[in-house]
Amino acid sequence: QVQLVESGGGSVQAGGSLRLSCTASGLTFADYAMGWFRQAPGKEREEVSCINLRGDFTYYADSVKGRFTISRDNAKNTLSLQMDSLTPEDTATYYCAADRTFGFCSTRAPNYEYWGQGTQVTVSS
């Protein structure tokens, strides 16, 4: 069955960095656009970033633009999110998701078919 497993979350002070990874199995990774979403307690889930099949198109939410970098390695079935200059507002559970699309990556969560279990990121001031 399809599995998306996130790793790399943790606790960091404001201004620090973390690198999240998502390893996919049970699907042809190169056939899926991939996205990172996050959800903080009491808030709605929001898209952070997404990347298309080949990795030559990316999207970033305004709140993370210039600080986060999404990338993928289709040979290793791995999605990554480099997060720099973290702020307490970045505190959330981060999820990776897969969307079988042949176009650009989607910013809409309902378009994503498969989801990971999430990894917690906590940024203290």
Gap between the Cα atoms of 18 and 14, Å rounded: 11
Residue 8 has pLDDT above 90, yes or no: yes
Instruction: Report pLDDT for 103.
Output: 79
pLDDT tens for 29-67 read 999 999 999 999 999 999 999 999 999 999 999 999 999
Gap between the Cα atoms of 23 and 4, Å rounded: 6
Instruction: Report pLDDT for 120.
Output: 98
Gap between the Cα atoms of 102 and 83, Å rounded: 27
pLDDT tens for 76-113 read 999 999 999 999 999 999 999 999 987 799 999 999 99
**DSSP class per residue in 40-66:** -TTS--EEEEEE-SSSS-EEE-TTTTT
